[in-house]
Structure 1
Amino acid sequence: MEEGRKGILAMVAACVVWGLSSMYYKLLAHVPPEEVLGHRTLWSLVFFGVVLAAQGRLGELGRLFTVPRALAVVVLAALMISVNWFLFILSIQIGHAVEASLGYYIFPLVAVALGFAVLGERHSVTKWVAVGLACVAVAVLTWGLGVAPWVALALAATFGVYGLLKRGVPAGPVVSVTAEVLLLAPLALVWLWGVHVQGWAGLTGRTLGTFGHDLSDSVLLMLSGPLTATPLILFSYASKRVSYATVGLVGYINPTLQFLVATLVFREAFTQWHGIAFGLIWAALALYSAESLRQERAARRASVRVATSGTTRT
């Protein structure tokens, strides 16, 4: 099988895991989200550590921590991904899975705005129209429901900032994510100690300390590590073998599956205002995707022309 096809299959597999993961976390809806997050962090660290050790790459992790600037970026990235994970888990538990899917649909358009504001990237009129449609969608949903879709906006913003920060980490995705969960691990350990020993309660006011008291829940909490790590490894594999535009297009499988699970499995409410907002978002993503493909083809043709002209001169 050619490398490009392997990359696409890996990307599809990663998005399917991400898209269906809401059903997994729904099984832990009775466990406070802070406790789920703590275990997700710790077991992700264990899984990533084993992978890096098997590959003989633990030294890359050590080198990353010796660069002060890189360490500062990793700390900020760890904060962003931790908040993002927590919000996703919470949204599933409180019945806002539709809104969570909206957040991941909005993310590529947030990335366009962040690229312009922070990196000074120049975008075509078509992409700005797509961003404008997303803004209209959020305004419509806010007007119709009487409250802004804060979960969706926070998920899109934290993941957008996370992606921006990752550009400044001088390490591959597996090494950088391992560094992030390693930094978060002490906080997770302190929190789980407080839950189990001190009876701490989180934002939801529930105290539980599930791990070790119920076998099925304990296993589910442990498996949250591989569930987090596996699609990231698949994504890393895919991103090296297919174009960025292809990664972006296939990536829409994730929020689409989230949306289908929320509406068909969880039976969450989907009002006419949701319908209008999602319609606008889908139209925006269609414009964004078409423009991304056009730009990629233009860049490919330009590189071919440069290569051809160089060969001719030689």
Structure 2
Amino acid sequence: MSQPDPSSPVLARLDRRGLLAAIGAFAIWGLLPLYLKLLHQAPVFQIMTHRVVWCCLFVFGWLGVRGELGHVTRALADGVTRLRLFASAVMITINWLTYVWAVGNGHVVEASLGYFINPLVSVLLGVLFLSEKLNPRQWIAVALAALGVAWLTWQVGRPPWIALTLAFSFGLYGFVRKTVVVDAVAGLAVETLLILPFALAWLLFEYGRGASVFGVVSWQLDALLVASGLLTAVPLVLFAFGVRRVPLTTIGLLQYMAPTLQLITALLVFKEPFTAVQAVGFGCIWLGLVVYAVDGVWRGRPAPALRVAANAGR
């Protein structure tokens, strides 16, 4: 069978579609704080649980329309896969909850830091748990990120807990998902299904004690809460579409688009402070990311963290 011509208009169009899908996914993730700020009338746990409920419905609807629910049933039928996806569901729940809290409490700058250091945390997890080997340039990148975190801890008097929680929860999420043979969208369907009972229980508890905001405050808030599930599912669908059509090295460079947009939003829209101390810490981490990204491009193949990113969502 003849191989497709890379210069053909059809293949080029598919590549462009994949690139646009990936850019769209990272743009949505990067601008998500703007949306979450609109939900300020809802408590953090209610935002989180509504996100789980509506995301679960949207993802199952998407898979149903595409006739791909079999991926979900096969994953649920395997005990080991089910257990691992429950573990990844716990990690992504911690990640989402921390992120929503950070945005609601004016810590978007620190949240962006978490996603800047996440690729290097994923590399470190690969070394610790998968015995992956790093070359000297990658070790320099990890060391620079560690130096940036240490500087912030020393100057501020506490570790950047929000950033570290986001980075390690998503890093561990990707690590667990790397061990499961299921695509990103079906995996998210299983994860949200497994934590759905807990989400529904919390919403019923809030309703029972008269603290529920859904159906009480305004129809606009209700619509925003429902759409939060859609904004969770859509970028993952776009990412899953794009990652199959775009080189992982390109995906690896695009992933910095999300925290960059978060940082810009924090500074220009939310007017969060950005001190000289933070600039030095971020500078060390950015320098590490430059070393890491250049190394990946120079080698011409994805680094461990990028292979993890291809199997995970956000």
Q: TM-score, normalised by structure 2?
A: 0.90
> More deviation in 150-159 or 60-69?
60-69
Cross-structure match for 2:233: 229
1:1-314 correspondence runs (5 A): 1-199=12-210, 208-213=211-216, 214-296=218-300
Q: Which protein is bigger by CA-based radius of gyration?
A: 1
Alpha-carbon contact 1:29-1:92 (below 8 Å) kept: no
User: Is there any run of 5+ residues in structure 1 with no aligned partner, and where?
Assistant: 200-207, 300-314
Q: Give, in angstroms, the shift of residue 198 of structure 1.
A: 2.5
Q: 1:58 to 1:298 in 2, by over 3 A?
A: closer
Tell me how far apart the structure 2 counterparts of residues 297 and 45 of structure 1 sit (CA, whole Å): 34
RMSD: 1.3
Secondary structure of the structure 1 residue equivalent to 2:300: helix
Tell me how far apart the structure 2 counterparts of residues 260 and 77 of structure 1 sit (CA, whole Å): 30
What's the CA shift string for 1:149-208, capped at 9, x where partnerless? 000000000000000111112211100000000011100000000001134xxxxxxxx3
Tell me how far apart the structure 2 counterparts of residues 56 and 95 of structure 1 sit (CA, whole Å): 42
Q: Give, in angstroms, the shift of residue 297 of structure 1.
A: 5.8
User: Is there any run of 5+ residues in structure 2 with no aligned partner, and where?
Assistant: 1-11, 304-314
Secondary structure of the structure 2 residue equivalent to 1:30: coil
Q: Give, in angstroms, the shift of residue 217 of structure 1.
A: 0.7
**Amino acid paired to 1:210:** V
Tell me how far apart the structure 2 counterparts of residues 34 and 289 of structure 1 sit (CA, whole Å): 36
Secondary structure of the structure 1 residue equivalent to 2:77: coil
Alpha-carbon contact 1:133-1:280 (below 8 Å) kept: yes
Q: Give, in angstroms, the shift of residue 142 of structure 1.
A: 1.1
Q: 1:289 to 1:74 in 2, by over 3 A?
A: same
> More deviation in 74-83 or 27-36?
27-36
Q: TM-score, normalised by structure 1?
A: 0.90
Alpha-carbon contact 1:76-1:165 (below 8 Å) kept: yes
Q: 1:93 to 1:298 in 2, by over 3 A?
A: closer
| Structure 1 residue ranges (4+ consecutive) displaced by more than 3 angstroms after TM superposition | none
**Amino acid paired to 2:47:** V
Q: Give, in angstroms, the shift of residue 298 of structure 1.
A: 11
